Amino acid sequence: MTSTSDLEQLAEIELQKEEEEEDEEEGQRCVTDGPSVPPINRSSPDSSHPYYDVARHGIIQVSGDDKYGRKLIIFSSCCLPPSHQLNHRRLLEYLKFTLDQYVEMDYILVYFHYGLRSSNKPSLKWLREAYSEFDRKYKKNMKTLYVVHPTNFIRIVWNIFKPLISHKFGKKLTYVNYLTELGEHLNYEQLIIPPDVLRHDEKLRAAQKGGPPSVKSPHPAPLPTQQFGVSLQYIRGKNNEAMIPPVMSQTVTYLKEKGLRTVGIFRRSAQVKTIKDVQRLYNLGKPVNFDEYRDVHVPAVILKTFLREMTEPLLTFRLYSQVQDLLSVESSLRVSRCKQMVESLPEHHFIVAKYLMSFLHTVSQQSIVNKMSSSNLACVFGVNLLWPRDGSISLDALTPINIFTEILIEHFTTVFGSRCPAGQVTP
User: Residue 134 CA to chain centroid, in angstroms?
Assistant: 20
**Any domain includes 424:** no
Specify the pLDDT at position 20.
Answer: 67
**289, 274 Cβ separation under 8 angstroms:** no
175 and 256 together in one domain = no
For 290, how many CA atoms within 13 A lie in the half-sphere containing its CB? Answer: 24
CB count within 10 Å of CB 101 equals 16
**Any domain includes 281:** yes
**Any domain includes 427:** no
Q: How far is Cα 360 from Cα 231, in angstroms, rounded to an integer?
A: 22
**Any domain includes 218:** no
137 and 268 together in one domain = no
The CATH number that applies at residue 394 is: 1.10.555.10
Closest CA to 194 of 273, 283, 106, 112: 112
Q: Which of 158, 174, 207 is the last residue of a domain?
A: 207
Which run of H or of E encompasses 181? Answer: helix 179-183
State how many domains the chain has.
Answer: 2
**Any domain includes 224:** no
256 and 202 together in one domain = no
- Bridge partners of 147, per DSSP, are 111, 175
**Any domain includes 213:** no
325 and 292 together in one domain = yes
69-58-380 Cα angle (round to 5): 20
189 and 246 together in one domain = no
DSSP 214-260: PTTPPPPPPPTT--SSS-HHHHHHHTTT-SS-HHHHHHHHHHHHHTT
**Any domain includes 367:** yes
Could you tell me the residue range of the domain that residue 269 belongs to? Answer: 232-416
Specify the pLDDT at position 36.
Answer: 39
175 and 268 together in one domain = no
**Any domain includes 127:** yes
Closest CA to 173 of 225, 110, 238: 110
Q: How far is Cα 339 from Cα 326, in angstroms, rounded to an integer?
A: 12
Q: How far is Cα 5 from Cα 339, in angstroms, rounded to an integer?
A: 61
244 and 190 together in one domain = no
Q: How far is Cα 417 from Cα 410, in angstroms, rounded to an integer?
A: 13
Q: Which of 207, 222, 254 is the last residue of a domain?
A: 207
Q: What is the pLDDT along the chain (427 residues), one digit of tens a residue?
A: 455 565 567 666 767 777 666 665 555 444 444 443 344 444 556 677 788 899 889 898 887 677 677 788 899 999 999 999 999 999 999 988 888 887 778 888 999 999 988 888 888 888 888 888 877 777 788 888 999 999 888 888 777 777 777 777 778 888 999 988 887 777 776 678 888 999 999 888 887 765 555 555 445 678 888 999 899 998 988 877 778 999 999 999 999 999 999 999 998 888 888 999 999 999 999 999 999 999 999 999 999 999 988 999 999 999 998 999 998 999 999 999 999 999 999 999 999 999 999 999 999 999 999 999 999 999 899 989 998 887 667 777 888 999 999 999 999 999 998 655 544 555 6
260 and 167 together in one domain = no
Closest CA to 252 of 352, 147, 105, 152: 352
135 and 169 together in one domain = yes
177 and 325 together in one domain = no
58 and 174 together in one domain = yes
203 and 239 together in one domain = no
